[in-house]
Amino acid sequence: MSSTTLGVTLEGHVAQLKRDLDGILVHEAALSGLAAALLASFAQGGKMLTCGNGGSAAEAAHLAEELTGRFYRERKSLPGMCLSIDGTLLTCIGNDYGFEEIFARQVESLGRPGDVLIGFTTSGNSENVLRAIQRAKERGLITAVFSGKTGGKMKGLCDYEFIVQSEHPSAMRVQECHQLMLHVLCEKIERVVLGIE
């Protein structure tokens, strides 16, 4: 049995991904803006917070570890924290306040004016990410969202938005495009930190 018998080919996936990647080129200026906002926050003693659910939680964690650890070059650690990874804390807040509050409650505790909150939601409609963004805005944080399709409820809400308008019916293409943008974001930040730009 060949993969073409199943209707799935690597060639088809690559062709779709190429179309989607062409579509994210419109985000170049916003990526530079977000990189500058993060660098300004770090320079003032601020930090980056990230959040998301499921695969988006993995994206959020990946970005935080690339900045706290390192991405490509040796450099000082940068303050990044993912709000999606502490199971004990998430279940505590979820049990006492509801799943919708698991990130917002952490933003309330950890977020300071000038910090940056980056939310990940492929639909743009994740209620707990939406509430975190709203709480962050109330507290004076800079906000960004990586989403997909139409941007959902998040569209127009954040200081920086990265909406991947993939034709693919699942979230995977959106997340693949997010991953590339996150790597570009990390490289932009590292180059400035190291004085390359």
Q: What is the SS3 string spanning 118-155?
A: EEEECCCCCHHHHHHHHHHHHCCCEEEEEEECCCHHHC
Q: Is 77 annotated as a binding residue?
A: no
Q: What is the mean pLDDT of residues 26-34?
A: 97
Q: Is 175 annotated as a binding residue?
A: yes
Q: Is 148 annotated as a binding residue?
A: no
Q: Is 53 annotated as a binding residue?
A: yes
Q: Is 109 annotated as a binding residue?
A: no
Residue 33, C-beta contacts closer than 8 angstroms, at least 6 positions apart: 160
Q: Is 32 annotated as a binding residue?
A: no
Q: Is 161 annotated as a binding residue?
A: no
Q: pLDDT band at 168, cuts 50/70/90?
A: confident
- At 126 the pLDDT is 98
- At 6 the pLDDT is 61
Neighbours of 85 (CB within 10 A): 16
Q: Is 126 annotated as a binding residue?
A: yes
Percent of the chain surpassing pLDDT 70: 96
Q: Is 86 annotated as a binding residue?
A: no
Tell which residue, 130, 67, 64, has the closest CA to residue 99: 130
- At 54 the pLDDT is 97
- At 17 the pLDDT is 87
pLDDT over threshold 70, residue 2: no
* Neighbour-count burial of 175, counting CB atoms closer than 10 A to its CB (0-12 exposed, 13-18 middle, 19+ buried): buried
**Assigned fold of 26-70+77-193:** Rossmann fold (3.40.50)
Report domain extents, the chain: 26-70+77-193
- Cα of first residue to Cα of last residue in the chain, in angstroms, is 52
Q: Is 55 annotated as a binding residue?
A: yes
Q: Is 66 annotated as a binding residue?
A: yes
pLDDT over threshold 70, residue 176: yes
- At 76 the pLDDT is 94
- At 184 the pLDDT is 97
Q: Is 159 annotated as a binding residue?
A: no
